[in-house]
Amino acid sequence: MKLESIALENFRNYSKIEVNINSDLVLILGANASGKTNFLESIYFLSRLKSFRSPDQFLVKIGENYFKLAANVIARPDLIRPKQSHGEIAASSRQGGTPRDDQEKDLEVIVQVTPILKRSFKLNGQKIKRGLWQSFAAVLFIPTDLNLFSLGPLLRRRYLDDTLSQVSKNYAFDLVSLDHVLGQRKALLEKIALQQAQREELSFWNEQLITLTLSIGQERKCFLDFLNERLNSVYSQLSGFKNKFAVEYKTDAQGDLHKLIKEHEGAEVRSGQNLIGPHREDFVLNKDGLLNVYNSSRGELRSQILAIKFLQAEYLNSHDFKPIIFLDDVFSELDEERRIKLLENLSGHQIFITTTEEHHLPEIKQAQKLKVENGQFLP
Ligand SMILES: Nc1ncnc2c1ncn2[C@@H]1O[C@H](COP(=O)(O)OP(=O)(O)OP(=O)(O)O)[C@@H](O)[C@H]1O
Ligand SMILES: [Mg+2]
């Protein structure tokens, strides 16, 4: 998948710019606060219809009431193939299923924030609903990814959800249903605690929760197995270190869910919280038999996270969704040898790299350089 051109209007510190992209390697150079991350954010927005760092209203240029993004991409004609798990899709494409040709897509997004919030999404000139948006896959590396294993499970679940909802529309729909079921179930738990409802009423929501826990769990397991099989070799390729990793999926989906939910019902009513389900899951990395977050150096953790992110791209790739890669400020954290290894491993993707210092980048002739200053690209 490739971005060919993009136009921004009132997006963050950009008033109006248009950029043609003519390379698979795009270097965005500029001082702090010039607009490098904002530019990546605008492309990312067209992939997901949301930012990776803030709600929509902060994306509108201060003093304006809307932003508009328009782009031309080359991508798969239908990213979404419902009624097929992505495991089946991978199997069929490996068995020589016909690969579909990439095609050009025109994307347009307008988000107005005042006087009322209004969003319009257009694909090839046709208005479409947010839930049916099919643009292109993207994988983002940002400095805060370094916290993936040192902070709570939310970031890790996000990583799973972000990967899987790009390859499986069913997964994305399941996440929406899960939100609804958890909301309804929580409200019911609170009513039961106040004796305004009966415990028996939970069984309807329990069944829904179990179905979703199993289907989400199946997709998560498939991806974590993929990580488990490849992490050792990717880590040693990227870092030069040799360790044995095991990815451990912490899930309720493998036990007897009916029994588990029954056992937790009392505590759920008392706390008013849903204690079982995909929203409580996690995964950890064990390095040489120990929980890695406690026995890795910062540099090792960084390489592990790069490997995990790289495998995210590989997973999308293996499902026919070769993602566009964004490396925001990642290079300044890596030594020269590891920068080169990372780029080598990512070759074949379109890559956008931001940096403040040009010398952080390996000398690559065919790269397109975009110099940004105060929300303007310099000629
Ligand atoms: N809604 C907005 N309207 C106008 N300016 C904004 C808006 N949101 C953010 N900015 C400004 O955009 C500028 C550029 O931000 P950006 O995050 O792109 O910087 P950067 O070039 O990535 O810098 P760094 O090297 O520090 O990461 C910042 O000064 C920020 O305050
Ligand atoms: Mg930045």
Q: What does the pLDDT look like over 251-286, one tens digit per residue?
A: 988 889 999 999 999 999 999 999 999 999 999 999
Residue 28: exposure state from Cβ atoms within 10 A (0-12, 13-18, ≥19): buried
Tell me if 355 CB under 6 Å of ligand 1: no
Residues 163, 316 contacting (CB under 8 angstroms):
yes
Stretch 114-140: mean pLDDT? 93
Tell me if 357 CB under 6 Å of ligand 1: no
Q: Which two structure tokens, joined as six digits, stand for 64?
A: 């304006």
Residues 300, 288 contacting (CB under 8 angstroms):
no
CA pair distance 258, 275, nearest whole angstrom: 13
Q: In which element (H, E) is residue 73 found?
A: strand 66-75
Strand runs (DSSP E) across 288-346, as ranges?
Answer: 290-291, 324-328
Tell me if 14 CB under 6 Å of ligand 1: no
Tell me if 36 CB under 6 Å of ligand 1: yes
Testing ligand 1's pocket by substitution, the residue of 38, 40, 45, 333 carrying the most ligand atoms inside 8 A of its CB is 38
> What is the Å distance from ligand 2's center to 21 Cα?
20
Question: Which residues partner with 73 through β-bridges?
Answer: 3, 105
Q: DSSP letters of 6-56?
A: EEEEEETTEEEEEEE--SSEEEEE--TTSSHHHHHHHHHHHHHSS-SSS-G
> What is the Å distance from ligand 1's center to 356 Cα?
13
Residue 333 phi/psi, 5° resolution? -85, -10
Q: What is the DSSP letter of 100?
A: P
Residues 355, 256 contacting (CB under 8 angstroms):
no
Please name the residue that has the structure tokens 């026919």.
320
CA pair distance 290, 245, nearest whole angstrom: 9
Mean of pLDDT over the chain: 90
Which residue has the least CA distance to atom 17 on ligand 1? Answer: 37
According to the model, what pLDDT value does residue 22 have?
A: 95
> What is the Å distance from ligand 2's center to 352 Cα?
13
Residues 104, 117 contacting (CB under 8 angstroms):
no
Q: In which element (H, E) is residue 378 found?
A: none
Which amino acid type is present at position 373?
E
According to the model, what pLDDT value does residue 94 have?
A: 38
Nearest to 139 by CA among 346, 338, 312: 312
> What is the pTM (predicted TM-score) of this model?
0.89
> What is the Å distance from ligand 1's center to 339 Cα?
25
Question: Which atom of ligand 1 has the smallest separation from the CA of 34?
Answer: 21
Nearest to 240 by CA among 121, 343, 341, 139: 341
- CA 42 from centre of chain: 15
| CA dihedral sign, ordered 337, 342, 343, 345 | positive
> What is the Å distance from ligand 2's center to 158 Cα?
21
Tell me if 356 CB under 6 Å of ligand 1: yes
Stretch 178-205: mean pLDDT? 97
Residue 362 has pLDDT above 80, yes or no: no
List pLDDT tens digits, range 217-230: 999 999 999 999 99
Residues 245, 286 contacting (CB under 8 angstroms):
yes
According to the model, what pLDDT value does residue 334 have?
A: 80
Q: Which two structure tokens, joined as six digits, stand for 336?
A: 């020269």
According to the model, what pLDDT value does residue 84 have?
A: 43
> What is the Å distance from ligand 2's center to 355 Cα?
8
What dihedral do alpha carbons 168, 172, 174, 180 form, nearest 10°?
180
CA pair distance 224, 289, nearest whole angstrom: 17
Tell me if 376 CB under 6 Å of ligand 1: no
Tell me if 34 CB under 6 Å of ligand 1: yes
Residues 157, 281 contacting (CB under 8 angstroms):
yes
> What is the Å distance from ligand 2's center to 284 Cα?
29
Tell me if 62 CB under 6 Å of ligand 1: yes
pLDDT top residue among 87 and 212: 212
- Considering every ligand atom shown, identify the ligand nearest to the alpha carbon of residue 327 and give its number: 2
Q: What is the DSSP letter of 350?
A: -
Question: Which atom of ligand 1 has the smallest separation from the CA of 59?
Answer: 1
List pLDDT tens digits, range 91-111: 444 343 444 567 899 999 999
According to the model, what pLDDT value does residue 88 have?
A: 45
Confidence of residue 85 (pLDDT cuts 50, 70, 90): very low
Which residue has the least CA distance to atom 2 on ligand 1? Answer: 12
